[in-house]
Amino acid sequence: MELCFVLPVCLMLFMGVYTAGSFISDMNVAGQATRAGSRLGAEIGNYGYGSSNPLTATCMGASTTNPCAVDQDIVTTVATVAKGLQNITSIDEIDIYDPCAVSGSCTSASSVCSDAGNIAGKYQTGDPVDVYKLVSGAWTLQNPGPNNYTLNLRTQQHPNELAVGVRILYHFQASAPINFFNAQASNYAVMCLAPTEAGS
């Protein structure tokens, strides 16, 4: 008789532990994806903007500040690593941003690489950001406008290196029999751009 009550409780407890483990595993994969993206963004930097020999790409058109080529590499890297997410229904968004906003705006003194008080780097309203969502199978920029993280904002000069942040938003879905549990989760990583030494 007692088994009728104990067995369902034990089953739910087991599934709860399994779901928690799955969620933690996916958070780890999402963290790897954002770290890979932000590391690549830090290595590429501003694509040579402002130099005597800047790089160009077809998607940039006539613009010298359009970050499309850099962003495409970052988004591809994040999406590739994120294929390891096992318990999700969708990857909703990939954001590339400058984690500089303090009180809703950025200043030259508020970069996480030079401001120890703002080192967390979490995305905030006011950060220059490029938001990418999956549209018809392609990652597409959703917010073209004045608040994008353009190449001129990714210029770095030692000792005032800037930062690049990458955030991924996705929907976690628990396995049966508690697949009613789902939640949007996010993960982010921030790397400091490699400095350009004067005279180099």
Secondary structure of the chain as H, E, C letters: CHHHHHHHHHHHHHHHHHHHHHHHHHHHHHHHHHHHHHHHHHHHCCCCCCCCCCCCCHHHCCCCCCCHHHHHHHHHHHHHHHHHCCCEEEEEEEEEECCCCECCECCCCCCCCCCHHHCCCCCCCCCCEEEEEEECCEEEECCCCCCCCCHHHHCCECCECCEEEEEEEEEEECCCCCCCCEEEEEEEEEEECCCCCCCC
Please answer whether residues 185 and 26 qualify as being in contact, where contact means their C-beta atoms are separated by less than 8 angstroms: yes
Across the chain, mean pLDDT equals 82
Beta-bridge partners for 141:
132
Mean pLDDT to the nearest integer, 180-198: 78
Q: What one-letter code names the amino acid at 63? A: S
Whole-angstrom distance, CA of residue 118 vs CA of residue 6: 50
Of the listed ranges 70-74, 106-110, 121-125, 183-187, the least confidently predicted one is: 106-110
Q: What one-letter code names the amino acid at 50? A: G
What's the pTM? Answer: 0.83
Q: What is the pLDDT of residue 104?
A: 67
Q: What is the pLDDT of residue 198?
A: 46
Mean pLDDT to the nearest integer, 26-41: 94
Place of tokens 């599934």: 15
> Is the model's pLDDT at 17 over the cut of 60?
yes
- Spatial strand order of the sheet with 182-192 comes to 138-141, 129-135, 88-97, 163-173, 182-192
Question: Is the model more confident about 75 or about 21?
Answer: 75
Question: Is the model more confident about 67 or about 163?
Answer: 67
> Is the model's pLDDT at 98 over the cut of 80?
yes
Question: Is the model more confident about 18 or about 149?
Answer: 149
Q: What is the pLDDT of residue 129?
A: 92
Q: What is the pLDDT of residue 2?
A: 73
Whole-angstrom distance, CA of residue 102 vs CA of residue 192: 18
Question: Is the model more confident about 84 or about 111?
Answer: 84
Q: What one-letter code names the amino acid at 112? A: V
Per-residue pLDDT band for 9 (boundaries 50, 70, 90) equals confident
pLDDT per residue over 133-148, tens digit each?
A: 999 999 999 977 778 8
Please answer whether residues 166 and 34 qualify as being in contact, where contact means their C-beta atoms are separated by less than 8 angstroms: yes
Q: What is the pLDDT of residue 70?
A: 92
Q: What is the CA radius of gyration of the chain?
A: 20
Q: What is the pLDDT of residue 95?
A: 96
Mean pLDDT to the nearest integer, 109-113: 62
